Structure 1
Amino acid sequence: MTMDWANIVGLLGSGLMVVAYAYSNIARELNFLWFNLLNLVGSLLLIASLTIHFNLASMALEIVWAAIAVIGLANTIRKGNAR
């Protein structure tokens, strides 16, 4: 594996998603805006990486993950819970 820009971007995306997961497990009160933003940005970075180093299963997972994060963001903003 070469450490090209696509792999660096993918690692950053993975890192953001791990941070979001850890945050959801340690936060006393979850801020859904930040949680979903971290997941959305992380998945978009991984999607960008996967356009260079394509893997169908990973791409499908990241597209679904991004869609869930967008729905979560929309619900959070609609309910006025964006703190």
Structure 2
Amino acid sequence: MFVQVLGSLCVLVPFVLVQLGRLSSTSRVYGWLNLVGSSVLAAEAAIGRDWGFLLLEAVWAIVSLRSLLKARTVRVTPVSPATRKHYRR
């Protein structure tokens, strides 16, 4: 149960921070926390043979990994100080 709660928090905390404007949904922190959380939850779902939840979390993990890999290949452009204060990484 502790592992499931930890995995859920890894997905929910960055989501809440994005909604509050404290984190960018394109940040590496957001991507990594989603990848870790959804991977943990997918593993838990596989162990419990909860196929619907496994599908949801596996797709979530794949999309998070794809976003992280894409971010590695995208060239970063400078961000103005006014914009930077709204999106922390």
- Any idea what SS the aligned residue of 1:51 has? helix
Do 2:6 and 2:37's aligned partners in 1 also have CA atoms closer than 8 Å? yes
Bigger CA drift: 44-53 or 57-66?
44-53
Cα distance in 1 for partners of 2:65, 2:75 equals: 15
Task: Give the TM-score of the pair, scaled to structure 2.
Answer: 0.74
Bigger Rg over Cα: 2
| Match runs of 1:22-37 below 5 Å | 22-27=16-21, 30=24, 32-37=27-32
Are the equivalent residues in 2 in contact too, given 1:32–1:72 (CA < 8 A)?
Answer: no
Task: Give the CA deviation at 1:39.
Answer: 0.4
Task: State the identity %.
Answer: 29
Q: Is the CA contact 1:17–1:38 (under 8 Å) kept in the aligned structure 2?
A: yes
Could you report, residue by residue, the CA deviation over 1:17-63 in whole angstroms, capped at 9, with x for unpaired residues? 01021121123561521111010000111122223322110000011
| Alignment RMSD | 1.8
Q: Is 1:15 matched up with 2:9?
A: yes
- Equivalent-residue separation in structure 2 for 1:55 and 1:29 (angstroms): 31
Moved >4 Å (runs of 4+): none
TM-score, with structure 1 as normaliser = 0.79
Number of aligned residue pairs: give it: 76
Corresponding letter in the other structure for 2:12: V
Distance (whole Å) between structure 1 residues aligned to residue 17 and residue 40 of structure 2: 19
Contact 1:9 1:45 in 2 (8 A): yes
After the TM superposition, which of the residue ranges 61-70 and 19-28 deviates more from structure 2? 19-28
Counterpart amino acid of residue 9 in structure 2: G
